[in-house]
Amino acid sequence: MIERMVAVQNAHGIHARPAAEIVKVAARFSSQITLARDALEVNAKSIMGVMMLAAECGAQLRIRADGPDASDAIEAIAALIASRFGES
């Protein structure tokens, strides 16, 4: 299992559309992937879970992945969050 910390950088945080994008990317990997903020850890393949994080701009998230493609999965999700979901 591997993990990485990332910071949410887009102004509006992980609202509905970014949550849907994260789920779409996570679904491409067979590994188990979770996102955690403080004590709340959710399944990155569940949009309900990702939305429950209510991660605003500046929030620190821990991405954790376990499985054959874990490092690729973490790379892809970290890159998506760093891209600010195409927002400013």
Partner 1 sequence: MGTPLHGVSASPGIVVGTAQILRWEVPEVPVRVIPDEAVPAELARLHAAIAAAVDRLQQCKARAQQNAGPAEAAIFDVQVAVLGDEALTGGIEALIRQNLGAEKAVELVFLEWRERFTRSTNPLMRERAGDLVDIEIRLLSILLGLPDGDPIAAGPDAETILVTHDLTPSLTVQLDRASIRGIATDAGTRTSHVAILARSLGIPAVVGLIDATSRVQTGDRVILDATNGELVLRPTAATLARFAERAQEEAAVRSELASMTTAEAVTADGVRITLRANVDLPDGVERLAASGAEGVGLMRTEFLVVGRTAMPSEDEQVEAYRAVLEAFPGQPVVIRTYDVGGDKLPVGGFPHEPNPFLGWRAIRMCLDEPALFSVQLRALLRAAVHGDVRIMLPLVVGVDEVRQTRYLLREAAAELARRGVAHRADVPVGIMVETPAAALTTARFAEAVDFFSIGTNDLVQYTLAVDRGNAALVTRFTPLHPAVLRLIDGTVRDAAAVGRECSVCGEMASQPLMAYALLGLGVRTLSVSAAAIPVIKRLIRGVRLGAASAAAQAALVAPTAHEAERGLRQSLSEALGAGVTDGLLGLS
Residue 12: active-site member: no
Q: CA 30, CA 27: separation in Å to the nearest integer?
A: 7
- Per the residue annotation, which of 15, 37, 62, 84 is the catalytic one? 15
Q: Cite the DSSP H helix spans in the chain.
A: 16-26, 47-52, 70-82
Q: Candidates 20-28, 30-38, 67-75, 76-84 — which segment interacts with partner 1 by CB under 8 A?
A: 20-28
Q: CA 66, CA 74: separation in Å to the nearest integer?
A: 10
Judged by DSSP in three states, 75 sits in: helix
The residues in 21-60 that bind partner 1, with binding defined as CB under 8 A, are 23-24, 43, 45-49, 51-52, 54, 56
**Contact footprint for partner 1 (CB under 8 A):** 12-13, 15-17, 19-20, 23-24, 43, 45-49, 51-52, 54, 56
